[in-house]
Amino acid sequence: MGHWLGMDEAGYGPNLGPLVISASVWEVPDGVDESGLNPLVAGAIASASRSSMRGGPQRHGEIPWVVADSKAVYQSGKGFTTLEHGVLVALTMLGQTPRTWRGLWEVLAPSSHQARQAHPWYADFDTPIPLEADADSIAALAQDVSQSLALSGVRLVTLCSRPIFESEFNSLVERHGSKGTLLSQAAMELAARCVESVPQGT
Residues 6+ apart with CB under 8 A from 46: 63, 64, 65, 66, 67
Give pLDDT tens digits along the chain (202 positions).
Answer: 889 999 999 887 666 678 999 999 999 999 888 788 888 898 899 876 554 434 433 444 445 799 888 888 887 888 889 999 999 999 999 999 999 999 999 999 999 999 999 889 899 899 999 999 999 999 999 999 999 999 999 999 999 999 999 888 889 989 999 989 999 999 999 999 998 877 776 5
User: What b/e readout covers 166-198, taking b as 16+ CB neighbours within 10 angstroms?
Assistant: bebbeebbeeeeeeeebbeebbeebbebbeeee
CA angle 95, 96, 97 (to 5 degrees): 120
Closest by Cα among 171, 156, 169 to 20: 169
Rounded to two decimals, the pTM is: 0.87
Positive or negative, the CA dihedral 120, 121, 122, 124 is positive
- As a whole-number percent, the residues of the chain with pLDDT over 70 amount to 88
